[in-house]
Structure 1
Amino acid sequence: MTGALGSSPVSVALDGRGSAYVTVMSGELRRVDLAGGSTSTVAAGLGNLRGLDLDGQGSAYVGSFEGVLQKADLLTGAREEIARGLGPVHGVSVAGGRVYVASGDGSIYKAEKGQQTERVVTGLGLPLDLVADGDSAYVADVIRGTVGKVDLADGSVTTLDSGAYEPQSLSRGADGAVYFLAGGEFHRVDPVTGRKTTAARLTSLSAYDFTLAANGDAYVTSSDGSLWRLNGLAR
């Protein structure tokens, strides 16, 4: 779709209004016009960026490998620090006014502006991505090779899948299923029954992260500096 994202695009999030936002390891938050493919820089100098999510109110939350969580205004690029000392931040998810962070120290943290950061889950391997949903979160653990459902109240983890090679990214579909990327394949797992199917295979794309649009299309960041659309992954 576009190749103007820089050498190392990482996470991607959609605003539902025709734009995608992508973090780049060099410290930029980039905006992509999904209709025309043009790109622009929202903010720069944010650190060695990894995780990203939008709050639906005009702001992005971005996490860095240095363990800092920041909030950036999508219009002005103004940013403020929300928390630090989180360990390498790989995944960020906003739900119910709270921000959850998947850390390379094997934890999930909850962060709110002006509140003490809380470690809500410990003992994970290396969680690279998470999607919070109410009182639960779905987590891709690349070290343990699992996709799990985490109870954010008591920290317990239920394994949904343990048969995929290095799950690295996941997203929740409109059908309620969890879709995750592992070893160049997209898988669909039913969180109720645990049934897993392969949704798609990538043959010539080195993907890093993806997210699902409401219509089931997947938007995928690639190591070649591009953002790609995979039509109908979750249909």
Structure 2
Amino acid sequence: MKTVFLFSVLFLIIQVASAQESSKPFFTRVYGTIGVDLVTSENSLANGESRSRSLVFEYKGKLLFSFRKHSFDFNDDTFSPANTTIHYELPQHFVEEMNLSVGKFFQANRAFSFSLSTGPTMVEYRKPYNVKQYIGNNVFGSYDSYTFDMKSYSLWGWDVRGDILFTFSRFVGVSLGGFYSYNKEVPYGGMDVNLMFGVLRSRKEKE
């Protein structure tokens, strides 16, 4: 699924970028991003893999449309590495979010701009429950380990975010974003750093 998403993003960027060569492009910019998140939730700081991907369109008049996907995991504070010795497998929470948002770009100069956007989210959340701790032994000694079950949630929510964008050229740039995503089970917020690739400036803008 993740590979399909990334190839779909790349395909759409190529198609729309080709259309940009016309004298009257429908979108003034279109780009994809790949990045990493620093996420905090009510339970813990995300301490496993944390990734973000997005596809962003700008319509004439600086109106922004975007599709974004975030995924991250974290250990429950109740069961931290401090509870263990040589080896451990901790109960982890897993979150995947997809959101559609609408917003606006604000251009500071040729290279810098920022954006604000908001929209609904769909969150797939898996959390451990029925956690039981036991002591194991191996050639290195004893260690704490856990058995547990996982419960899954499909949640609707709402996301707000702001981004600062810097373009190195018409086709490549970086962005720094801040966001907050609310849902009833695992609200969270954080920051992300992203590589942007696609059509980031109008052809009329000089390099």
Structure number with greater CO (CA < 8 Å, separation at least 6) is 2
Q: Classify the TM-score, shorter chain.
A: under 0.3
Pick the structure with greater CA Rg.
2
Q: Larger helix proportion, structure 1 or 2? A: 2
Q: Larger strand proportion, structure 1 or 2? A: 2
- Normalization by structure 1: what TM-score? 0.24
